[in-house]
Amino acid sequence: MRMLNPKTLLALSLFYPLFVPVAQAADVNLAESAVVSVSSHRGSYTADKVNDGIVSDASRWLAAKGDSKPWVELAFTQPTKVGMIDVFSGWKTEAGSSLRDFDVSVEVNGTWKRHDDWNIRKNTKSSKRIYIEQVNVTKVRLELLRAGAARIREIAVYNNKEALGLQDVGEAAVQTEDYGIRFSQHQIGVNQIGYFTGRPKRFTAPLSADGTEFKLREQGDSEIVYMGFIEGGIGDFSSFQPVDSAARYVIELSGGELTSNTSDPFLIRANLDQEQYWQAATDFLNDVRSVVGTHPSAYGGCGFRDGTYYDAIVPSLVLFYLSDPEFINSMPRQIDWQAEKARVTAPDFVYIRDGAGPGVMDAARGYYQLEPPKANAPDVVKILHWGAGYILMKPNGRDPSASFDDDNSLIEPQTVEQIAYVLWAWPELKQWLPQSFYDRCLEFCLKFWKPEGGPRGHYTQGGSANKRGASALDISPWWNPETYMTTESFDQNIHNPGHMHPFKGRHAPGHSIVPNLLMHEVAKREGLADADMYLNAAVKQADWIIKHLDWNDPRTTKGHRLSEHRTIPNLVWLLQKYPQQAPEGLQAKITEWARVAVSRSHNLWDFRKYSDEMWTIPGMNEVGNSLSLPAIALSASWVVEDPALKQELERIAFASVDHLFGRNPMLHASTPHPKQGFPEIERGWPKLYKLDTCARLETVRGNLATLPGSEMYPFQPGKKFRHLEGWSNYGASWCISLSYLQFDAAQTTPNFKVK
């Protein structure tokens, strides 16, 4: 915990006996050492109250009556970086008493700077955070637009955007509470669904001091089955490995100045993922199918509502099936192909064209002219057949959030690459799918993988190439960090103007490596003369990554958001399957990624941060990366040699799963509708998405919609909510991670040669 100065601690203990400091060591409040000047003051509410570290009505600054335009100014002893400021205002939580309209400016190198984002209007919050992001700042100034009392309880200044910040203490009789979280009480962040018996089992107690004892018991039973102590905000009960039962467990925390608390209940089971996650993951991709799913629309125009050319849904379903065919074959059947065909092709079918270009219904009706899967095929296979079949009908899928090119005739290499997974896995899939489907898929890949004529690039329907991209055989220019935005240039608001590269996740480095390896095996199986062409391309792409990507630059890793699973697992696949052909330094490159990732995860959430300064990527929804990390970290653990590093990778892989279901600064699971697929969850995400929008996610089961952004870390629940959507692409990330969890548990890998 951050050590407050003795004067502040004494004042807090006198005024507020329940006060608990919750800021972290890195949260240095620059305002505490600043010299404060004000336009005027009233009575004992003097300038020094602005920066005394106490957020309360009793310790506030008031402007004098008659002050026509109050202002306050903080001068630093030396130029400093200012990442953000927190302004606490108002009186006794009285509605309308907070500072409504004010301007902030900073003095940089002797010149005053202003920005529209620092001009606050119609504010209703008693705690207002303003992002400044300036260096060499000597002064910060806040000016009211009109006469008034000001009522500033505190101003805090930080050199970063991640600070936990001061706690709004309020009055002694008031207990601070937000989203059901009481800050005078021990808080417990657990995976609300449960934990794997033989895997890491950890929880976060963000307010509890080191040495606080925790107790584990079955819900409804007083017997203590495990005891431990909090260290660094974390409780670990990994060694508790009970036999499978229907029991739900709870954690109790008590002691110190905080009042006691009991966690949400959770399961502990050996096969938790298949019991709790697999059906919901299948239901999600079933429901979000365009036209034929739970809403008759196709936002974006791809086979899955709000899908894109880089969504990787087809590959995810192939890997999902291959990770445990026996289990998937045993899952309930819900999809009736013939009934859906009759409904969609009926003359009176009502299609809602919203956010989709032309050709959707032609593609859907064309799909239903294909030979169908077997009637008793598993839903995973039927969804796979739909996804790949839709691509065959309409391969020019675009990105509805502004792609790199507006030419709707272009076919992206990543679209073509998806079909390679179907070809490769055909010996396993052919029991459910017709040979004619394989033939169409093979024809499609051979036609568009290496188009003839012109520079290789994006493909048009006619098969020609476009110089603005790269084919699956080449090294995409978009992999190069020289094409990346800087973190600083990314607007903190969602849907930042421009291509948002790499943060949108459109072009993860190495996305073509495994597809090329698969095509190499398919070509050999088919007796094609150019089989080595694909293997050589994969090796060259991996070699380029070794030589050109610096994992210390977070834009090359977590910066690719939900698509990072296209990089490290692909490199691991090449190294394991083709060790003789793999380029020199590949294992070292993967190990280097692992060390960087682990180095950024030593915090109270076991959370792999974006960088040393930022917790998540700027502005955008975090959940896709948390969904992908289990696959990434576990695959890397298969090839690193250091046992300690392997164990650390396992820690962050399972912590990422826990993060999704409640072990995060909001202490809520990432789904806004837990009853639609996750009945074990006590508290879903407190914000809901807009209804009847984009993918119509209110109709979709099993969707995982969002997680805290940097603004809520290390523990500022509710500080700022990021964009909320259970994107169809996230369904792919989750299925891929579920696959790798199963591969890892079975001590096998996905890169075997299918018979």
Residue 289: strand pairing partners: 304
Residue 754 belongs to some domain of the structure: no
Q: Which of 270, 286, 302 is the last residue of a domain?
A: 270
Here the CATH number for the domain that contains residue 199 is: 2.60.40.10
Parallel/antiparallel/unpaired status of strands 194-196 and 267-269: parallel
Residue 1 belongs to some domain of the structure: no
Report the mean per-residue pLDDT for the chain: 88
pLDDT of residue 499: 76
pLDDT of residue 2: 32
Count of domains observed in the chain? 3
Average pLDDT over every residue of 575-597? 98
Parallel/antiparallel/unpaired status of strands 181-182 and 465-466: unpaired
330, 263: one domain: no
Average pLDDT over every residue of 81-103? 85
Least confident of 152-156, 182-186, 289-293, 687-691: 687-691
Share of the chain above pLDDT 90, in %: 72
Query: What Rg value do the Cα atoms of the chain yield, rounded?
Result: 28
Backbone angles phi, psi at 527, to 5 degrees: 75, 30
Which of the four pLDDT bands, split at 50, 70 and 90, describes residue 94?
Answer: low
Is-contact 146 116, C-beta < 8 A?
A: no
Residue 604 belongs to some domain of the structure: yes
Give the pLDDT confidence of 223-277 residue by residue, as tens digits.
999 999 999 999 999 999 999 999 999 999 999 889 999 999 999 999 999 999 9
- Is 640 or 43 the better-scoring residue by pLDDT? 640
Residue 490 belongs to some domain of the structure: no
Residue 443 belongs to some domain of the structure: yes
Cβ count within 10 A of residue 151: 21
- Taking CA 84 as the corner, what is the angle to CA 726 and CA 671, rounded to the nearest 5 degrees? 15
Average pLDDT over every residue of 149-165? 85
Q: Is the pLDDT of residue 453 over 60?
A: no
- Is 236 or 357 the better-scoring residue by pLDDT? 236
Average pLDDT over every residue of 44-50? 90
* pTM strictly above 0.75: yes
Is-contact 194 222, C-beta < 8 A?
A: no
277, 263: one domain: no
Q: Is the pLDDT of residue 722 over 70?
A: yes
Domain that holds residue 305: 273-481+509-745
* Continuous segment of H or E residues that includes residue 120: strand 119-120
Q: Is the pLDDT of residue 157 over 50?
A: yes
Give the pLDDT confidence of 431-440 residue by residue, as tens digits.
999 999 999 9
255, 402: one domain: no
Q: Is the pLDDT of residue 633 over 70?
A: yes
Q: Is the pLDDT of residue 702 over 70?
A: yes
pLDDT of residue 3: 35
Q: Is the dihedral of CA 257, 260, 264, 265 positive or negative?
A: positive
Q: Is the pLDDT of residue 547 over 80?
A: yes
240, 304: one domain: no
pLDDT of residue 396: 83
320, 225: one domain: no
258, 284: one domain: no
628, 656: one domain: yes
Residue 322 belongs to some domain of the structure: yes
19, 53: one domain: yes
- DSSP code of 333? P
- Is 42 or 495 the better-scoring residue by pLDDT? 42
pLDDT of residue 491: 64
Buried-exposed string 282-319: b where 16+ CB fall within 10 A, e elsewhere: bbbbbbbbbbbbbbbbbbbbbbbbbbbbbbbbbbbbbb
Residue 318 corresponds to which amino acid? V
Is-contact 371 419, C-beta < 8 A?
A: no
Parallel/antiparallel/unpaired status of strands 71-89 and 119-120: unpaired
- Taking CA 695 as the corner, what is the angle to CA 693 and CA 699, rounded to the nearest 5 degrees? 90
Here the CATH number for the domain that contains residue 337 is: 1.50.10
- DSSP code of 696? -
Is-contact 626 606, C-beta < 8 A?
A: no
Give the pLDDT confidence of 368-402 residue by residue, as tens digits.
999 999 999 999 999 999 999 999 999 987 666 55
Give the pLDDT confidence of 54-90 residue by residue, as tens digits.
787 778 899 998 899 999 999 999 999 999 999 999 8
Which of the four pLDDT bands, split at 50, 70 and 90, describes residue 161?
Answer: confident
67, 213: one domain: no
265, 282: one domain: no
Q: Is the pLDDT of residue 165 over 80?
A: no
Residue 750 belongs to some domain of the structure: no
